[in-house]
A and B are shown apart, each in its own frame.
Chain A
Amino acid sequence: MNGRFTWFNTTSLTVGFVFLYLPILLLVLFSFNESRLVTVWAGFSTKWYVELFKDKAFLDAALVTFRVALLSATVATILGTLAAVVMVRAGRFKGRTLFSGMIYAPLVMPEVITGLSLLLLFVAMGVSRGFWTITLAHITFSMCYAAVVVSSRLVTFDTSLEEAATDLGCTPFQAFLKVTLPIMAPAIISAWLLSFTLSLDDLVIASFTSGPGATTLPMKIYSQVRLGVTPKINALSTILIGIVTIGVLVASYLTRRSEARRKVDELLAES
């Protein structure tokens, strides 16, 4: 059934999207405000961006955050993909229920509990806290999201393609590398992107697991926000929102293009 825009639909879509986007737009607008106040408009200025880039503490935090996010997203995607293969393909093995429980539980676990429990582990093991402990913590919760994303695609994967490859002389491992992995690539890329943004975004778990010397951007933003609202935070937020928006748009463009190409290939194969 093809729908249409009635007045009710148009109104509720407009109200809904204004509610979702207006706060973000206002945040971006006031990052260009001349005044120190973030609620009274006093003319256009980019001085808060200049101040932001002069602030070494923010740049350091940004560097730590990106390093943690890059490393944790990469390891989490590898472990998550392995976990997805185990859940979908490995069949029965001892402790399977526990395994899938451990994959799904972190998704609904309150961050304060995950953070506290990991911190207590690191203390009990006597490791010094900082960059590496944050990274380990982020890998642990991101890999579960990655596993869910990859396994939802792996379930619909046609295994006869792999069988064809092994019939043609591939070892199962080669078949996996040459056939399965390329087809799974879009799901693996979106798992990586999700893990990356989750790590970039996390305040609570990083606060618990970090030590002196390792401050991430969300921790820095949080401590500033607690002191009061400043246009510098608006400027920083605008930059982060810009990066994420461009990233998501590019990713969705790429997946749409590869979907389109796949459909063309399928049509050619059938004809």
Chain B
Amino acid sequence: MDRKFGRFLLIGLPYFWLLVLFLVPFGIVFKISLSDVAIAIPPYTPTFDLSAGWEGLKSLISGLDFENYIWLTEDDIYWKSYLSSLRIAGISTILTLLVGYPLAYSMAKAPSEWRPTLLMLIILPFWTSFLIRVYAWIGILKTEGLLNQLLMFVGVVDEPLQILNTDTAVYIGIVYSYLPFMVLPLYSALEKLDGSLLEAAQDLGCTSIEAFWKVTFPLSMPGVIAGSFLVFIPAIGEFVIPDLLGGSDTKMIGKTLWAEFFSNRDWPVASAVAVLLLLLLIIPIVLFQNQQERAQEAEK
């Protein structure tokens, strides 16, 4: 009896916590996305009145409709935000791969006594504040910033370039912030690589560049895929980077949701934006989980 109760408590405590503070809130988001905005506290209608019981529930349900979703399809700012989030996340993922691959490759090829230190150096920035790391780029990318000073000093450009508040700055910010997420899975895939395979390829007449494309790169594919998903999925919903580094015409869905909520105070539309963002993310998340499961099967 006592053990059974212990087991119930062990499972029940974290379960109950997550149900109340993770799952139920999503139900509320969905419900409010079907409500209408109102000048009241809370700023939406209808609200659920517990004391009215069954009648209250009926009037609640009859007050809900899909108006906000229709509104989202009619106003093209939302479509553009979703598409531009996908585009920015996609381009940033490719750029992160291009920067991260040589780094991970060189780490995996470094003398083995060096590898723990190199790994530590990759992880360390991940522990320092995300906000501070994004902030650091503002001083570099500003019109009168350090990068422009350098470029003008070297003589590459005569006039300062406008980099901050453009999509380019957003790409730089995402590549910089998410680089560890790309490098770590790539490194673990490349480190496992059996060196004798490369020797065999070279014995059979491959140049080292051919051997890389025919042996190393295909074998590192699980790392490439895992790293790309780990950058792509969070980048879609990113708020801080487009807000601080991007311009007023950088549309990303996280920023749109934030503005809808904090500036327009339209909670129902913000909720509808959140529901659609979640639907958009489910596809890459499910793909990623399937790929991870297959990779684990392959390990066995």
Tell me the A residues contacting B by CB distance below 8 Å.
Answer: 1-6, 8-10, 12-13, 16-17, 19-21, 23-24, 26-27, 30, 38-39, 79-80, 82-83, 85-86, 90, 93, 95, 99, 102-103, 105-106, 108-113, 116-118, 120-121, 123-124, 136-137, 139-140, 143, 147, 172-173, 197, 200-201, 203-204, 207-208, 218, 221-222, 225-226, 229, 233, 237, 240-241, 244-245, 247-248, 252
The answer to whether the Cβ of B149 comes within 8 Å of any Cβ in the partner chain is: yes
Is A110 a contact partner of B281 (Cβ separation < 8 A)?
yes
Tell me the smallest distance from the CB of A251 to a CB of chain B, in Å.
9
**Residues 110-145 of chain B, each 1 if its beta carbon lies under 8 Å from chain A, else 0:** 111000001011111101111111011111101011
The answer to whether the Cβ of B295 comes within 8 Å of any Cβ in the partner chain is: no
Is A79 a contact partner of B23 (Cβ separation < 8 A)?
no
Tell me the smallest distance from the CB of B51 to a CB of chain A, in Å.
13
Query: Is chain A's interface secondary structure helix, strand, loop, or mixed overall?
Result: helix
How far does the alpha carbon of A4 sit from the alpha carbon of B108 in the complex, in Å?
A: 10
Q: Taking A86-B11, A108-B281, A240-B129 as contacts, is the C-beta distance between A118 and B25 under 8 angstroms?
A: yes
Residues on B with C-beta less than 8 A from A10 are 106
Q: Taking A1-B195, A93-B11, A221-B135 as contacts, is the C-beta distance between A121 and B129 under 8 angstroms?
A: no
Residues on A with C-beta less than 8 A from B19 are 102
The answer to whether the Cβ of B13 comes within 8 Å of any Cβ in the partner chain is: yes
Residues on B with C-beta less than 8 A from A4 are 109-111
Instruction: Name B20's closest neighbour in chain A (CB-CB).
Output: A121
Q: Which 5 A-B pairs have the closest CB atoms?
A: A110-B237, A117-B25, A1-B195, A16-B103, A9-B106
Residues on A with C-beta less than 8 A from B3 are 172
Tell me the smallest distance from the CB of B184 to a CB of chain A, in Å.
13
Is A121 a contact partner of B24 (Cβ separation < 8 A)?
yes
Is A136 a contact partner of B21 (Cβ separation < 8 A)?
yes
How far does the alpha carbon of A174 sit from the alpha carbon of B133 in the complex, in Å?
A: 45
The answer to whether the Cβ of B17 comes within 8 Å of any Cβ in the partner chain is: yes
Residues on B with C-beta less than 8 A from A39 are 139, 142, 144-146, 149
Give the residue of B23, B133, B240, B278 whose beta carbon is less than 8 angstroms from that of A23. Answer: B133
Residues on A with C-beta less than 8 A from B300 are none
How far does the alpha carbon of A98 sit from the alpha carbon of B147 in the complex, in Å?
A: 49
Give the residue of A5, A20, A173, A252 whose beta carbon is less than 8 angstroms from that of B111. Answer: A5
Is B121 a contact partner of A143 (Cβ separation < 8 A)?
no
How far does the alpha carbon of A120 sit from the alpha carbon of B47 in the complex, in Å?
A: 12
Instruction: Name B103's closest neighbour in chain A (CB-CB).
Output: A16
Residues on B with C-beta less than 8 A from A103 are 18
Is A117 a contact partner of B29 (Cβ separation < 8 A)?
yes
A-B CB pair tally, cutoff 8 Å? 221
Give the residue of A111, A221, A245 whose beta carbon is less than 8 angstroms from that of B132. Answer: A221
How far does the alpha carbon of A249 sit from the alpha carbon of B112 in the complex, in Å?
A: 20
How far does the alpha carbon of A45 sit from the alpha carbon of B146 in the complex, in Å?
A: 20
Most buried by B among A1, A10, A140: A1
**Residues 265-294 of chain B, each 1 if its beta carbon lies under 8 Å from chain A, else 0:** 001001100100110010001001000000
Query: Is chain B's interface secondary structure helix, strand, loop, or mixed overall?
Result: helix
How far does the alpha carbon of A199 sit from the alpha carbon of B111 in the complex, in Å?
A: 36
Instruction: Name A87's closest neighbour in chain B (CB-CB).
Output: B14
Q: Taking A3-B110, A26-B140, A108-B285 as contacts, is the C-beta distance between A121 and B25 under 8 angstroms?
A: yes
Residues of B53-78 contacting chain A, CB below 8 A: none
Question: Could you pull out 6 A-B pairs where Cβ atoms are within 8 angstroms?
Answer: A8-B102, A110-B281, A113-B278, A197-B127, A218-B129, A226-B244
Residues on A with C-beta less than 8 A from B233 are 108
Q: Taking A21-B125, A39-B145 as contacts, is the C-beta distance between A120 and B271 under 8 angstroms?
A: yes
Is A112 a contact partner of B257 (Cβ separation < 8 A)?
yes
The answer to whether the Cβ of B5 comes within 8 Å of any Cβ in the partner chain is: no
Tell me the smallest distance from the CB of A185 to a CB of chain B, in Å.
19
Is A79 a contact partner of B14 (Cβ separation < 8 A)?
yes
Residues of B194-218 contacting chain A, CB below 8 A: 194-195
Residues on B with C-beta less than 8 A from A27 are 132, 135-136, 139
With A99-B15, A102-B22, A110-B239 known, 10 other A-B pairs at CB within 8 A are: A3-B109, A12-B103, A13-B103, A27-B136, A39-B144, A39-B149, A93-B11, A109-B237, A116-B270, A203-B240
Residues on A with C-beta less than 8 A from B11 are 86, 90, 93, 99
The answer to whether the Cβ of B42 comes within 8 Å of any Cβ in the partner chain is: yes
Is B128 a contact partner of A24 (Cβ separation < 8 A)?
yes
**Residues 82-121 of chain B, each 1 if its beta carbon lies under 8 Å from chain A, else 0:** 0000000000000000010011011111111000001011
Residues on A with C-beta less than 8 A from B138 are 225, 229
How far does the alpha carbon of A1 sit from the alpha carbon of B32 in the complex, in Å?
A: 58
